[in-house]
Amino acid sequence: MHALLVQQPSLFDGLAATVELDAPLGGLTWFKVGGCADALVTPKTTDALSTLVTRCHETGTPLRVLGSGANLLVADEGVDGVVVRLDAPCFHTVEFDRDGPAPVRAWAGADLMKLVQECARRGLDGLSQLAGIPASVGGAITMNAGGAFGDTAQAVSSVGMLTHSGVRSDISAAEAGFSYRHTNLPRGIVLWADLALMSGDRETIRARVKEIFAYKSRSQPMADRSAGCMFRNPVEASTGLRTSAGRLIDEAKLKGFSCGGAYVSPVHGNFIALREGGSATDVLAVAAEVQLRVLERTGVRLEREVVVWSRRGELP
């Protein structure tokens, strides 16, 4: 356990939150593997979250936020410090029919796929490009989640943040600096996102959501134990444009390659999946071999899109 959690018992004193020490994290991720967190904390209010963030900052305690676990691999050794889950009702709220240019405010713990469906049901256009992407709203904002049809940034007007020192701030989309699978948001925790959605024809929007979801179901191994696309699409040196990481992996004849219980999906080369009994170490071994073989064949080094937590911080 992280030494500061032992030395600073006041970290959780009087905190409106549930606290579990040495908490298994694997079951909370889509891979279903990985070690424990020193502490898993679920704040019951935004004030409790703010207090916890401030205390962690003041004591130098590592702090991570666990969303839906869809883009995350937890190392078998586990992670140090505090892992926060925004699982209380206040963090799952979605406020519709607000005044101004952004009629929807979605809090960070809200489920993105459910939000896409609900907006389509209400005839609100602007999120259909995210159909079939498993994420919490906070996670989608943090990494600007997206796919072939568009990304999260297209719908964002502003982002509510809790800085690492516990101060709340409102950041415009321009200030957030959205780019491919990246933002320039300050250190801290996303609290909510204001979404600039437009009224449209309900049936047309719903049909578009179904179309995109059906495409993903056909082309991706959505039922497998994976974390979605393992690698970012790299920029092609000759054109300056992004090319498909999945295509490079396919052309390297790596579909079906396996190590231990992990394997490259035969359906989509950019998905690494796990069999029963597989481990996080197996996933990392397959990912490393894929990177090596694609580099040897093309000169392109694939960068991971999936986040890896360990006791050494986030692995590059």
294 Cβ partners below 8 Å, 6+ apart?
A: 248, 249, 252, 254, 300, 301, 302
Coil, strand or helix at 230: coil
From the list 164, 203, 194, 198, the residue with the least C-alpha distance to 176 is 194
The C-alpha atoms of residue 114 and residue 199 are separated, in whole angstroms, by 18
308 Cβ partners below 8 Å, 6+ apart?
A: 72, 73, 74, 75, 280, 284, 314, 315
* Active-site pick, 55, 64, 105, 181: 181
Q: Is 305 a catalytic residue?
A: yes
Q: Is 181 a catalytic residue?
A: yes
Q: Is 56 a catalytic residue?
A: no
* Active-site pick, 56, 225, 304, 305: 305
Contact 16, 129 (CB under 8 A): no
* Active-site pick, 56, 119, 229, 259: 229
The C-alpha atoms of residue 273 and residue 224 are separated, in whole angstroms, by 6
Catalytic residues: 181, 229, 305
